Structure formats: C-alpha cells, structure tokens
Amino acid sequence: MSLVLPVVQITAKTLPEAWEKSVLETWEHGARIATQYDKPGDPVSRDAICVIAVTDPFAEPRIHRAFPGGIVELEAYRQEVVEGIHDHWVDPEAGKWEYTYHERLAAYSVPGLSTPIDQVEYMINALSEAPHTRRAQAITWKPWEDAGIHDPACLQRIWCRIFDDELVMNVHMRSNDAYKAAFMNMYAFTDLQRMVADEVSKRLGRTINVGQYTHIADSYHIYGAYFDEFEGFLNTLKARTFDERTYCTEDVQDITDEAREQIAKSLSAEAVSGRKGL
C-alpha cells in the first residue's frame, strides 16, 4: 500500500546539504494537493511529511547561496527568533503581527496569568538541573487565539535534551514552506540551539556543545505559485558544484557585520517613527 502523504527523511552533516536534499526529495516525491493560499490557475503544491536530521549544524559550509533571500534578511530573521528584535511588532488589535516565534517562546501569555512565561529560560533551567531531562520543551500554539486566525504559527514545539555533553534539539512544524522559508527557519533555530547550549554551559561550569538538530514538518511543501522560480533553483543545482552553491560563515562575515549595523539603525529609526523597518 502506498502512502497518501509521502515521508521525506534526510540525514546530512551540514545545514545547506540537508535543506537542499529535503527540497529535492519533496519536489520529486511529494503528493500533489491544493492549498488555502492558491490563486486561480496556480498548479497544486507538492507536499510531504519531512524529517531532517543535521548531525553537525554548525559545521561549514553553513549557508546555502540559493535560499530565497539575502544575508541581510537572514541575519534579521536570526535576530528576530533568537533576540526578539521584532517582538514590538506584535499587536493584532492594531493590525500588526499576531505573534513572533520569540514572543511566543520567551513571553508566552496565558489568560488570567499576570506574568508571561519565559519558556526558553525554563528549558535552560531544566537542562541545567538535569541535563538528561526529557521535559525541556517550549510551545507556541494558543488554541484560544490561533484557531481560525489568518496566519497561525507554523512552529509548534521545541524539545531539547543533552546527550554526552551535546545539546540535541528537535523542532516541530505544523506547516513549512520547503523552498522559501525552511532554510531560514533552520538557520535561526540552530542559533537558538547554540544560545541554549551556551547558557547551560555557564550554569553547569562545563562545555555543552551543539549537537544533532532535527527538523520535523507535518506539511513540508513547495507551492505551485512559484514553480517557475523554483525551476531556476533546480537549474542552479545542475550548473554549480556544492562548494559553488554554499557559503562558509567567514565568506560573508563582512556582509553580516554590515547587516547588523543596518538592522540596528533600522530598529533605532523604528523607535522614533513607530514604523516597521527591516
């Protein structure tokens, strides 16, 4: 009996290799199904359950050149997830964002509870007290808010555990745009993994390294709306070697440093104008 929704399972050492393989497998084997975002005439998407295991998420090369976006956008998104630089954009009653991942993870509000819950701090504390604990997790879903909204959070849960002084992180997504979003998601989530490992190291007084990262998506999809653009991605894979398709962190360090300055200036301008920047 064949699967109605195929399962894509990838294991790779580096982040760009894992992402690239996952996208190709989804393109080749994904089920054909319509989505709620399709416009008239759009081809149906290709969709799969996806499990991506990255054995050494900070091994180089760490960046895929062909992900849709640039280094500035990648760094801004990393800061948004790990540092919460865009949490002040959350104000659905004013027509602004309904959430950020950082806001849900670090300031999870519950009706009737006066103080938001810092779930990241909870994970760090739990791992520091018992590194082998299976209880270090954080969630984003709020059924009293998210059921029926236009754009509910794709990230659902993060789970961490320490094995032989390596911090393992599993991330669960209800929905994940394989081509346009997944690489940036994984890049930022692994940096959150690094941050948690660093904080636990300080509290334990020994080095906890970043270990295996596993990215699990219930719906890992390539939208029909951008199939023409995706053909360009496929052609890039045929025309260039893996080294030509990736960056090591140091290759783009100057650009990243400039991006950080640009992001800081944008945030300063936002504080004055109240308008959304980068």
In a domain, 51, yes or no: yes
Cα distance between residue 123 and residue 169, in whole Å: 11
Please tell me whether residue 234 adopts helix, strand or coil conformation: helix
Torsion of CA 22, 23, 24, 26, to 10 degrees: 80
Whether 168 is covered by a domain: the verdict is yes
Asked whether residue 273 is domain-assigned, the answer is no
pLDDT of 115 > 80? The answer is yes
Report pLDDT for 150: 85
**Residue 261: inside a domain, yes or no?**
no
Residue 108 predicted with pLDDT over 60: yes
Report the residue count for the chain. Answer: 278
For the stretch 49-58, pLDDT in tens is 999 999 999 9
Count of domains forming the chain: 1
Q: Write down the pLDDT at residue 76.
A: 97
Per-residue pLDDT reduced to its tens digit, 160-176: 999 999 999 999 999 99
* CATH number (domain holding residue 198): 3.30.572.10
* Per-residue pLDDT at 138 exceeds 70: yes
Q: Which domain holds residue 138?
A: 7-67+117-248
Buried b (16+ CB within 10 A) or exposed e, 129-138: eebeeeebbb
Taking alpha carbons only, the member of 112, 122, 116 closest to residue 104 is 116
Distance CA 82, CA 62 (A): 17
Residue 271: the pLDDT is: 79
Determine, yes or no, domain membership for 43: yes
What is the pLDDT at residue 264? 95
Q: Is residue 44 part of a domain?
A: yes
Q: Is the dihedral of CA 194, 196, 197, 198 positive or negative?
A: positive
What digits encode the pLDDT tens for the residues 181-212? 999 999 999 999 999 999 999 999 999 999 99
Q: Is residue 190 part of a domain?
A: yes
Identify the helix (H) or strand (E) that includes residue 45.
strand 45-54
Residue 108 lies in a domain: no
